[in-house]
Structure 1
């Protein structure tokens, strides 16, 4: 996928401490494996932030956007499991986006990711301008822009009925927390005004994503 568009599902949320253990069990035992096994999905990984909100992030990479724009995926989203119907409404401050990602995904996954919500006017080509600065950061792995598709980015229960910005998302994979935080700083310098820090997250997969292909 070096330089070629690919599909990406981005889901971030907080969860009340009273439900956190079950939330993590649901994700690890049912939801992540189920979504990762769908046709076209390459791998999936969960992340947790040491300090940001939303606290949890899940990323699902696919061969193309069609993996999330097909009858099988629409059926899975519409007809959730009993466990999912219990957990999904408990997810606080959620952000669910599906979009086409442009950039690089040709290296082993970085343990840390930095996420920046780019300004509305940001074009995916901005990564070409930003790339030289990012590659100078020790611990930088790879990066890509996700342009959300509103018709596919259906809301989670607590998003429903609320205004939702579909700003491009910049995701920078790094091998360390310090590199991820430097990536945020560098990105905010080079991206258009109005771009915002979304979060810095560490992989919960202990170095190995749920590989599917």
Structure 2
């Protein structure tokens, strides 16, 4: 079962240039080089919050509790130690993938953090997989759908601010452009569709994000010095 790490964060505008340089040139590569990570990519909000969203695909959920990953969490770089304490509105989700349609990335990512009661998760996930996601996969411009079930929290940055409600399901959609994403959010992934799977709109935090940059582990490995 494939794993995924998702993070959301805001950052003060005064230090945002340094934050983005750190993320784009050090942080993504550092994570992507951990054994078992396939890639690392980040996005910026078109609408929704927090402003920044990142995704990391792994070969299994166990990679996210592995000694190699724990080592970089417990031994941050000097630059990371300067940046991470300044995170605001930080949220983090370690999860296993329970549904996938399509492959690859796209220009636009839809992020849906779903916070239903824990005892309802399996039933609601089944409803999404059976009724909502097959229809959403046929929508024009939707090239990927990924439903994730969060696991127990692991180590990571300790934000100063309190996080929002716990994520009990996470749905990510990859869309070719904003028009396709908007159509999905008003149709196949809209409030009416989610309510058909017993997910009230008040339990969903939705954002639309534009791709900024990413690191693919296979490309890095091919370009290592011999």
Are 1:145 and 1:168, in contact at CA under 8 Å, matched by a contact in 2? Answer: yes
Moved over 6 A (4+): none
CA shift digits 1:105-154 (9 cap, x unpaired): 652312111111224234332233212321232100111112111232x4
Look up the match of 2:157. Answer: 156
**How many Å apart are 1:54 and its aligned residue?**
0.5
Are 1:11 and 1:96, in contact at CA under 8 Å, matched by a contact in 2? Answer: yes
For structure 2, the residue ranges without an aligned partner over 5 or more in a row are 219-226
**How many Å apart are 1:11 and its aligned residue?**
0.9
66-75 or 18-27: bigger deviation: 66-75
Does 1:65 find its partner at 2:61? yes
Q: Distance in 2 between matches of 1:67 and 1:176?
A: 32
Q: Distance in 1 between matches of 2:176 and 2:3?
A: 23
Q: Distance in 2 between matches of 1:33 and 1:166?
A: 26
For structure 1, the residue ranges without an aligned partner over 5 or more in a row are none
More helix by share: 2
May I ask how many residue pairs the two structures share in their alignment? Answer: 205
TM-score normalized by structure 2?
Answer: 0.83
Look up the match of 1:166. Answer: 167
1:193-212 matched pairs, under 5 angstroms = 193=200, 194-205=202-213, 209-212=214-217
Look up the match of 2:180. Answer: 179
Q: Distance in 1 between matches of 2:63 and 2:15?
A: 30
Partner SS for 1:34:
helix
Q: Distance in 2 between matches of 1:141 and 1:157?
A: 34
Q: Distance in 2 between matches of 1:156 and 1:105?
A: 31
Are 2:37 and 2:57, in contact at CA under 8 Å, matched by a contact in 1? Answer: yes
TM-score normalized by structure 1?
Answer: 0.87
Structure with greater Cα Rg: 2
Look up the match of 2:223. Answer: none
Does 1:7 find its partner at 2:3? yes
RMSD: 2.0
